[in-house]
Amino acid sequence: MDPCASSSDVIAALQAEITSLRAALHSVTAASSPPPPCTTTSSPVFRPGRVKIDHMSAEVTDSNPYSRLMALKRMGVVKEYERIRKVSVLIVGLGGVGSVAAEMLTRCGIGKLLLFDYDVVELANMNRLFFRPEHAGLRKTEAAMATLESINPDVCLEGHTYDVTSVPHFEHFLDRLRRGGPDGRSPVHLVLSCVDNYAARTAINQACNEADVAWMESGVSEDAVSGHIQTLFPGRTACFECLPPLLVASGREESTLRREGVCAASLPTTMGIVAGLLVQNALKYLLDFGDLSYYLGYSALTDHFPRHTLWPNPDCGNIWCRRRQETWRGKGRAWHRRETDCREVGEGAGPVHGTNEWGIEVIGREGVDVEGEVGVERGSAGSVQQSGREGTEASLEELAAELSQLQS
């Protein structure tokens, strides 16, 4: 018999099975939204490997999944590890970094995870960690929730399959930031940006500035051999629009970025390392230990880890960023302002804002036009009148009609 014929039968059968599993999964996830505070509905497809545990125990037994984590307290690293059960983290992007970050936090026993991605799992993703070939065709949010729940049923999971940059979804996204806490009313504690494009990062920046939520950015370069993480506290550290995006987004020179050929290469190693750096930094922030990194680069070719703090730009184009900066100045609240720490501190710290602290120089690289207006300013003197109408005279409808007629 032709082996191809039988394998195509198998494929057809598998596809039918995927469809029905997806439907089953979908009905479950649909039924659980809008989510009451912290109840992940058990999936009929992947049964959890253990029952839920109410309280984290430090008891050292082979059957306690938290004993090694609670040992961090005995070792003096973390004061109160159980706090992680009350923490809510929102992850945007379940690619090679985000999915691994979600697994790490799940294994750490995080209280609640909110997952956002609009994509489906593809076989082309199999050079990365976390997803498995049998997930191909499933939505990343669905596949991730099923896997994460089976790893640790104590974690409350919430998944949303949409693009956060689109106008209709953005408001919902903002609402989940503001009310995605474990109690269903308070804001999430931290947002992790694990997306691969500038537009999504800007949307997350906008939402976090508006909702005043701390976030951490991650990125892996197009050539897969460098990456970075960045911590953004609205008003206290540089937001994503405070600095020219190219430098922050890649930490690489413009000239090397602009290459012919492919949109992106990827390596499981670099992505795993960046996910590890990201979640380590998140744990430090959430459980209050060690020094936070505000910008930490990683160059795989030279094993170089540049580390900087990026201060907010008083002239940032994002109005919410400027408002948050104002809040931190105006109320006289204080936070550490050292190279290594911008966290909030008690009364009596020094002046919270100096002058000219836009951290441009720390990442400025030769050959990159950091503040350049690209010489196009001269065009702006020209000509909004070019269409033959003054700016405010024509209504939107008239302009639309003019455009349509012109092209007919």
Partner 1 sequence: MDGGPGGKAGRAEAPASEPMPPVWASTDHAPHVLEEIPMLHTRAGPRDGNQWISRVKEEMQAVIALVRINKEKDNDWFQINPLNKLCTRWEGKCWTYYQGVRFEFTLHFDVPASYPATCPDLIIPHLDGKTAKIYRGGRICLDLHFQPLWARNVPKFGIAHALALGLGPWLSLEIPSLVSAGLLPVTGTTAR
Catalytic residues: 263
**Minimum distance, C-beta of residue 310 to partner 1, in the bound complex (Å):** 16
Task: Please tell me whether residue 392 binds partner 1 under the rule CB under 8 A.
Answer: yes
Task: Please tell me whether residue 239 binds Zn ion under the rule CB under 5 A.
Answer: yes
CB nearer to partner 1: give 63 or 407. Answer: 407
Residue 13 binding target from Zn ion, partner 1, none, CB below 5 to 8 Å by type? none
Q: Is 120 helix (H, G, I), strand (E, B) or coil?
A: strand
Please select the residue that binds partner 1; options are 15, 83, 262, 334, rule is CB under 8 A.
Answer: 262
Residues 68-127 that bind Zn ion (CB under 5 A): none
90 pairs with which residues across the strands?
Answer: 114, 191
Residue 279 binding target from Zn ion, partner 1, none, CB below 5 to 8 Å by type? none
Return the beta strands (E) in 129-209 as ranges: 156-160, 190-193
**Minimum distance, C-beta of residue 384 to Zn ion, in the bound complex (Å):** 28
Q: Are strands 88-92 and 190-193 parallel, antiparallel or unpaired?
A: parallel
The CA-based angle 219-254-279, given to 5 degrees, is 10
| Residue at token pair 């302009």 | 399
Dihedral of the alpha carbons of 93, 129, 249, 234, in degrees to the nearest 10: 50
Q: Rounded distance, CA 114 to CA 106, Å?
A: 11
> Binding mask 311-330 vs Zn ion (x if CB under 5 A, - otherwise)?
-----x-x--x---------
Read off the tokens for 114. Answer: 């909110």
Is the N-terminal amide bond of 35 cis, ω within 30° of 0? Answer: no
Cβ–Cβ < 8 Å for 335, 352 = yes
Residue 316 binding target from partner 1, Zn ion, none, CB below 5 to 8 Å by type? Zn ion
Task: Please tell me whether residue 400 binds partner 1 under the rule CB under 8 A.
Answer: yes
CB nearer to partner 1: give 40 or 313. Answer: 313
Please select the residue that binds partner 1; options are 167, 351, 355, 367, rule is CB under 8 A.
Answer: 167
Residue 257 binding target from partner 1, Zn ion, none, CB below 5 to 8 Å by type? partner 1
275 CB-contact burial (10 Å; exposed 0-12 / middle 13-18 / buried 19+): buried
**Minimum distance, C-beta of residue 154 to partner 1, in the bound complex (Å):** 33
Read off the tokens for 335. Answer: 């936070």
Task: Please tell me whether residue 366 binds partner 1 under the rule CB under 8 A.
Answer: no
Window contacting Zn ion (CB under 5 A); options: 22-30, 169-177, 183-191, 240-248:
240-248
Q: Which of 91, 120, 209, 106 is nearest to 154 (CA)?
A: 106
Window contacting partner 1 (CB under 8 A); options: 182-190, 237-245, 283-291, 336-344:
237-245
Cβ–Cβ < 8 Å for 97, 194 = yes
Cβ–Cβ < 8 Å for 363, 243 = yes
Read off the tokens for 312. Answer: 């907010």
**Minimum distance, C-beta of residue 238 to Zn ion, in the bound complex (Å):** 6
Read off the tokens for 141. Answer: 């949010």
Residue type, 234: P
CB nearer to partner 1: give 302 or 386. Answer: 386
> Binding mask 195-224 vs partner 1 (x if CB under 8 A, - otherwise)?
--xxx--xx-xx---------------x--
The CA-based angle 299-271-235, given to 5 degrees, is 75
Residue ranges in contact with partner 1 by CB under 8 A: 119, 164-167, 169-171, 197-199, 202-203, 205-206, 222, 241, 244-246, 254, 257-259, 261-263, 317-318, 369, 372-376, 378-387, 389, 391-392, 394, 396, 399-400, 402-404, 406-407
Residue ranges in contact with Zn ion by CB under 5 A: 239, 241-242, 316, 318, 321
